[in-house]
Amino acid sequence: MIHNKIFKNKKILLGITGCIAAYKAAFLTREFVKLGAEVKIVMTPSAAEFISPLTLSTLSGNPVIINTFPASQKESTGLGTWHIDTALWADIMIVAPCTINTVAKIAHGFADSALTTLVTALRSPLLVAPAADVDMYLNKIAQKNIQSLKDFGINIIEAEEGELASGLTGKGRLADINKIIDSTALVLNGFSHDLENQNILITAGPTYEDIDPVRFIGNRSSGKMGYWLAKASYLRGANVTLISGPSSETIYPEIKLHTIRSAAEMEKTVKRNLKNNDVLIMSAAVADYTPAKREVNKIKKENKLQAIQLRETKDILASIDKKENFVVGFALETENGLVNAKKKLKNKNLDMIVLNVLKVNKSGFDSDTNKVIILHKSGDKKDFPLQSKFLVANNILTEIIKNK
Ligand code: CTP
């Protein structure tokens, strides 16, 4: 799992409020625990109408907090300042799902439940994932309160568009569990919303060059690096367009995705999208050669094929107009990495190049980790250790921000 290292032994306070998406908090709890985190849960009394505290205490391995005060005064000795102790215990707090009622309360500093009391006592970062039916979510007052949380520096994980429990379709679904986990990892790693108002174009994956209707020439790129670059850019506030060759990776619905197959399609799509973007990150493994002719019918064995005639594809990076954009290339090398990457940086007139160090174990194709060296036009060089592709992506983005 990509985020294992960052969640290990982290103390997560998970707040759950009363809406139908509360059941998804069970999956979130299980994922946090699987990643090695310690999870304590605080629920509002209405959340307990939707999901059993027993489910959540079983999954988290900790008692669930619901009420500010004990059920009877006899039980009150020894509780003391539990709210302060619990708030100080947490490395991070996530409220998911957060109803528009609780959003309003947080926005106005209420401390009228165990959950809102903890929010006000918190010293660590807070993430809020609001969810509601579409009209409630888009309600002007709710939107104003969500904006108000953002203005207070609270990390909002916006609801997604889709089918809702009411049968209506629209914005209001709790963000996907994986996106909530990625957002939490982002904040735990100390990255912020520093790409707001930036338009970023990213390419990912391999290209497939068809020989006939059945066969193609491809390469081993999985697309993981480019997909993590796209997700990290989105989480840091950018508007992201992803152009992807064939890949089994998944992407957030808010990211504009263009799927292509061949180098020629990749070239056309990059050129069409370039002028609307500030940054181009070309992480795709574009084929350098394509069959000179694509056969209409399957080539039969009896034809005794001896060779396939190839022609060069257009080098997209080398041929695009770079006046308006900050352009980042990748260099995939198995030998003389630094020398070749420097050559590519210069010959393709790039602002920055990311050298994939393939010789390191667990680096490169299809792996969740990568070892990269970043070279800047200025001559500056940054050598990173073997890291998760999520962290590599974020470090690449930080280098772009610093040098743009
Ligand atoms: N690239 C491109 N168009 C191509 C081939 C590559 O834009 N037709 C881009 C890649 O997306 C990458 C950079 O160029 O950002 C370097 O790609 P790489 O495969 O490492 O190098 P090549 O220039 O193809 O040279 P070689 O294969 O000989 O190493």
Q: Is 393 in the pocket of ligand 1 (CB under 6 A)?
A: no
The residue ranges of every structural domain in the chain are: 4-71+81-188, 199-403
According to the CATH classification, is domain 199-403 in 3.40.50.300?
no
d(CA 181, CA 188): 10
* pLDDT surpasses 70 at 79: no
Integer CA distances (angstroms), 224 to 233, 241, 317, 372, in order: 14, 15, 20, 14
| The pair of three-digit structure tokens given for residue 20, joined into one six-digit string | 């139908």
* pLDDT surpasses 90 at 397: yes
Could you report how far apart the first and last alpha carbons of the chain are, in Å?
32
d(CA 199, CA 251): 17
Residues 6 or more apart in contact with residue 354 via CB below 8 angstroms: 283, 328, 329, 330, 331, 372, 373, 374, 396
Identify the CA nearest to 3 among candidates 92, 63, 130.
92
Residue 71: the pLDDT is: 75
Q: Is 195 in the pocket of ligand 1 (CB under 6 A)?
A: no
Q: What is the pLDDT of residues 224-272, one digit of tens each?
A: 999 999 999 999 999 999 999 999 999 999 999 999 999 999 999 999 9
Most confidently modeled range among 265-274, 301-310, 359-368: 265-274
Q: Is 331 in the pocket of ligand 1 (CB under 6 A)?
A: yes
CATH class of 4-71+81-188: alpha beta
Question: Are 26 and 52 within 8 A, CB to CB?
Answer: no
Question: Are 314 and 305 within 8 A, CB to CB?
Answer: no
Q: How far is the CA of 280 from the centre of ligand 1 (A)?
A: 14
Residue 78: the pLDDT is: 63
Q: What is the pLDDT of residues 18-43, one digit of tens each?
A: 999 999 999 999 999 999 999 999 99
Q: Is 329 in the pocket of ligand 1 (CB under 6 A)?
A: yes
d(CA 213, CA 158): 42
* Cβ-based neighbour number of residue 225 at 10 Å: 29
Identify the CA nearest to 380 among candidates 399, 398, 397.
399
Q: How far is the CA of 331 from the centre of ligand 1 (A)?
A: 7
Domains 4-71+81-188 and 199-403 share a fold: yes
Q: How far is the CA of 318 from the centre of ligand 1 (A)?
A: 9
Q: Is 263 in the pocket of ligand 1 (CB under 6 A)?
A: yes
Q: From atom 20 of ligand 1, which residue's Cα is the shortest distance away?
A: 331
Known catalytic residues are: 219
Q: What is the pLDDT of residues 93-141, one digit of tens each?
A: 999 999 999 999 999 999 999 999 999 999 999 999 999 999 999 999 9
Q: How far is the CA of 84 from the centre of ligand 1 (A)?
A: 55
| The pair of three-digit structure tokens given for residue 155, joined into one six-digit string | 């990390």
Q: 39 or 359: which carries more pLDDT confidence?
A: 39
Residue 82: the pLDDT is: 85
Residues 6 or more apart in contact with residue 75 via CB below 8 angstroms: none
pLDDT tier at 68 (50, 70, 90 boundaries)?
confident
Distance of CA 212 to the CA centre of its chain: 36
pTM of the predicted model as reported, rounded to 2 decimal places: 0.96
